[in-house]
Amino acid sequence: MNSITSVRSIPLACAIALACVVTPAQSEQRQDRAVTEALQRNLDTIVVIYAENRAFDNVFGRFPGAHGLGEVVDRSGRPRAAYVPQKDRDGSVLATLPQTWGGLTAAGVTPVITQAASGGLPNAPFEIETAFAPASGVELSTSTVTRDLYHRFFENQMEINGGKNDGFAAWADAGGLTMGHFDYSGSRLYALARRYTLADNFFAGVFGGSFLNHQYLICACAPVYPNADAPPSGAHPTIAVLDTDASGAYLPHLTTKPTSPVSALDGPPAFVLSGAIAPFNYFGDGQYHAVNTMQAPYQPSGNAPVDATATNLLYAGPAAPTTLPPQTQTTIGDLLDHRGVSWKWYAGSWNAAVADGTQPPTTARTVIYAPSTPRGNPDFQPHHAPFNYYAAFDPVTHARERTEHLKDYDDLVADAGAGTLPAVVFYKPQGNFNQHEGYANLEDGDAHIAGLIEQLRKSPQWPHMLIVVTYDEFGGVWDHVSPPAGDRLGPGTRIPALLISPFAKRGFVDHTQYDTASVLRLITRRFELPTLPGLESRDRALSLNGERPMGDLTNALEFGRDRY
């Protein structure tokens, strides 16, 4: 080849080479598609076990390799330089933690640690089992039921305090208990986390409590309460009273009463009204939304039927101020139904709770909100059954849908054993097994949940199953990792999440950023569903705040010889 021919051939060679170049965006698209195809080839059953009210540091703060307590305190409990001390209500550093108001242990629990014996702890995280022994002579354990703590929408934001996480002691109604954690290393869930994957950057989907986080789990949204200021039912739901800025815009800060103690050392805060409903247009959509616990319009509900006539026993009294009107927003259940994908919400003591709720209003409840002893009645919590708030499950007009999708724990065990679990499973343990402070302990819930996981691992469906164990929210307890800045709903405080599967990475701590709705993201991806609007708005808000989007749990999975 002469020199002229060689020169003339260069542009063609360059063009061919350029045509073979894969841009970073194209490479990422191919990678994403490969992961989706691997999910669809390998994963047939997704099981979500939804426990209660534990911040990450509260139970997994000493987990090896995790972003845990060792980042802010040494092994003896002395604060490191990275620890941000808790502030008082005026912004000054608290000299000590407040007492645990009302005493540390729940009513009826022995041994008792009184309020007086709970004071004087250093301004630092502490181990609940041993911290009170010098004053009380009592050591506690993971079988102890401690008192409950505020875990409400606006209070949680006041505790987070713009990401500083230094307002927990000031704004928690329980005082110093908010800074406590347990040695959970001997638990069965801890052992499973060591064997499989623990996610240590997983946040509650929304600020605050169980009711709203359960709703977010199924719709990535907050419930709507039309005309909350003058509802047609005659009910009068409580609307939160908030501080405003100079322009009159609402701040996520409850207005305190003039009589509220100035210092957290003098008593719990007192608010004008920490209501169930956010003020009108708080979220910028021209509506009222429920943000704290309200009751289902259908039984089982915390509100009794109006009377025993006709079908009234199937409903909660609509005029009760805490009865939420039936919801109609799109849920993950709707999307799965439209795609023809099977799903069920299983709940501990569901059948017993339905029977308990559909009794005349004068009959005492023995299952619904009935914790006779720490280890007694099942204590079914109706606000933990989110689909029961939706018009699509009206007990008269949609009885078939209720029978098909809303099931009991016994049905879950039977379906797992028979290999007939639906493609998507949600499971909610009953109250005495859900690990909620105030009426449950860690030990009983650990045994129950780990026992269920063992049964699932024996199921014929296990070879193609993923189990996600997570918690609905933080339970009013401090965590040292600040949530990313998202939208006006959340995300809230960091919570634990375990991924257990033949495809979960072994002995892995996943630092990927997740929230409650990452479960929905995974389901959406696996079954190629439309994306719920709330998922898009959350990631859009994160981006606007300079934060990363939420993951969909796939970083915790690997599929053997699959290449992606």
Q: What is the pLDDT of residues 272-289, one digit of tens each?
A: 999 999 999 999 999 999
Q: CB neighbours of 466 closer than 8 A, spacing ≥ 6?
A: 43, 45, 46, 47, 499, 500, 501, 503, 504, 522, 557
CA distance 192 to 197: 8
133 close to 122: Cβ distance less than 8 angstroms: no
CA distance 12 to 62: 61
Could you tell me how many helices (H) and strands (E) the chain has, helices first? 16, 14
Residue 553 confidence (pLDDT): 98
Q: Render 156-172 in DSSP notation, one character per residue.
A: HHHHHGGGT---HHHH-
The values of phi and psi at residue 413, to 5°, are -60, -45
Strand order in the sheet with 197-199: 406-408, 343-347, 424-428, 45-51, 465-471, 497-500, 197-199, 508-510
CA distance 107 to 127: 21
Closest C-alpha among 510, 509, 511, 518 to residue 486: 518
Buried b (16+ CB within 10 A) or exposed e, 156-173: bbbbbbeeebbbbbbbbb
The pair of three-digit structure tokens given for residue 124, joined into one six-digit string: 């630092």
Element of type H or E holding 514: strand 514-515
Closest C-alpha among 231, 229, 237 to residue 211: 237
Residue 24 confidence (pLDDT): 78
∠ CA 414-417-423 to the nearest 5 degrees?
85
The values of phi and psi at residue 257, to 5°, are -75, 150
Residue 75 confidence (pLDDT): 86
Residue 373 confidence (pLDDT): 56
Q: Give the 3-state secondary structure of residue 102.
A: coil
**Which sign, positive or negative, has the C-alpha torsion 354, 399, 292, 437?**
positive
Q: CB neighbours of 340 closer than 8 A, spacing ≥ 6?
A: none
CA distances from 300 to 59, 61, 381, 475 (A): 31, 36, 9, 23
Peptide bond into 24 cis (omega under 30): no
CA distance 204 to 188: 23
Domains of the chain: 44-65+184-220+294-556 (3.40.720)
| Model confidence pLDDT, tens digit, residues 449-476 | 999 999 999 999 999 999 999 999 999 9
CA distance 143 to 446: 10
Amino acid at the residue 468: V
The pair of three-digit structure tokens given for residue 232, joined into one six-digit string: 């047609």
Torsion of CA 208, 213, 214, 215, to 10 degrees: 110
Would you give per-residue pLDDT tens digits along the chain (564 residues)?
444 344 444 555 555 555 557 787 777 788 889 999 999 999 999 999 999 999 999 999 999 999 999 999 998 889 999 999 999 999 999 999 999 999 999 888 888 999 999 999 999 999 999 999 999 999 999 999 999 998 999 999 999 999 999 999 999 999 999 999 999 999 999 999 999 999 999 999 999 999 999 999 999 999 999 999 998 888 899 999 999 999 999 999 999 999 999 999 999 999 999 999 999 999 999 999 999 999 999 999 999 999 999 999 999 999 999 999 999 999 999 999 999 999 999 999 999 999 999 999 999 999 999 986 555 679 999 999 999 999 999 999 999 999 999 999 999 999 999 999 999 999 999 999 999 999 999 999 999 999 999 999 999 999 999 999 999 999 999 999 999 999 999 999 999 999 999 999 999 999 999 999 999 999 999 999 999 999 999 999 999 999 999 999 999 999 975 444
Residue the block writes with tokens 């915390």: 302
Q: CB neighbours of 361 closer than 8 A, spacing ≥ 6?
A: 304, 305, 306, 307, 308, 317
Q: Hey, how many other C-beta atoms are within 10 angstroms of the C-beta on 87?
A: 20
Amino acid at the residue 104: L
The residues facing 514 across adjacent strands are 202
Residue 8 confidence (pLDDT): 43
